Structure 1
């Protein structure tokens, strides 16, 4: 998944990302594994990791 790859590329942990987007690392893990949609957090996740939202839309299409 693009988000996990970007996390690794930037050298950040899921705990770091969870803190920056305002959720728990458990809930973020659910999002990353597709167990929760994460719609509320997705814009902030993309912004924090500097991911173009259109690139995510293209993958989902």
Structure 2
């Protein structure tokens, strides 16, 4: 993962799954992201994505990183 992308995960309550699901919700081709969790801890990380809003700059950076 590029270092400029990693900084999105350093903020409080920004786990990789939360950022990934939040980013997926911004993608027009994705109708509904599907995620599953095996533990309560992982479920909490996934649910955190519903309260996370990425800025347009963050979405652009993550989109660029996804194209590599």
For the aligned pair, the TM-score class normalised by the smaller chain equals: 0.3 to 0.5
TM-score (ref. length: structure 1): 0.36
TM-score (ref. length: structure 2): 0.34
Larger Rg: 2
Structure scoring higher RCO (CA < 8 A, sep ≥ 6) equals 2
Higher helix residue share: 1
